[in-house]
Amino acid sequence: MAIASPLSTPKCVLVVDDDDGVREIVQISLEAAAGWEVLTAASGREAIAIASSHHPDAILLDVMMPDMDGAETFRHLQRNPETRDIPTIFLTAKAKASEREAYLALGVTGVITKPFAALSLVEDIRAILNWQL
């Protein structure tokens, strides 16, 4: 696990996905490769509550979830003054350019396509959010 310098605090990322395996892979990747704190949620409603109470540095949000999908969850986050400024990256199995453009038009910070390479996930997130090492 990477050790943060005393002058910086590790980033905190909320991972939202209804698939337990995806949440676990992402959590392990972010904690081991970057030393980031990872919060997890299995649904949009849970994500909204966690984002409001913990205000993570970023949210990785699955697009296709039952009950409340990623787009609806994102709209709820945007309406809340406490969460509207949290950068959100969609995780999606839909890779068509038109779909990616539609997601970005909603106002998300970026889109990462599933399946993703666990080893490059941290670099993809850093590039989208312009986070330094």
Please check whether residue 81 lies inside any domain of the structure: yes
Enumerate residue ranges in the chain where pLDDT < 50: 1-6
CATH number at residue 68: 3.40.50.2300
State pLDDT tens for residues 13-45.
999 999 999 999 999 999 999 999 999 999 999
Please check whether residue 5 lies inside any domain of the structure: no
Residue 4 pLDDT: 46
Q: Which residues pair with 90 in a beta bridge?
A: 61, 111
Please check whether residue 129 lies inside any domain of the structure: no
Report the predicted TM-score, pTM, of the whole model to 2 decimal places: 0.91
Please check whether residue 88 lies inside any domain of the structure: yes
Please check whether residue 92 lies inside any domain of the structure: yes
Residue 31 pLDDT: 96
Taking a C-beta distance cutoff of 8 angstroms, is the pair 128, 101 a contact? no
- Distance from C-alpha of 88 to C-alpha of 5, rounded to nearest angstrom: 25
Taking a C-beta distance cutoff of 8 angstroms, is the pair 60, 14 a contact? yes
- Distance from C-alpha of 23 to C-alpha of 118, rounded to nearest angstrom: 11
Please check whether residue 123 lies inside any domain of the structure: no
Please check whether residue 53 lies inside any domain of the structure: yes
Domain hosting residue 73, numbered range? 12-117
Residue 118 pLDDT: 82
Q: How many domains does the chain have?
A: 1
Residue 7 pLDDT: 55
Please check whether residue 56 lies inside any domain of the structure: yes
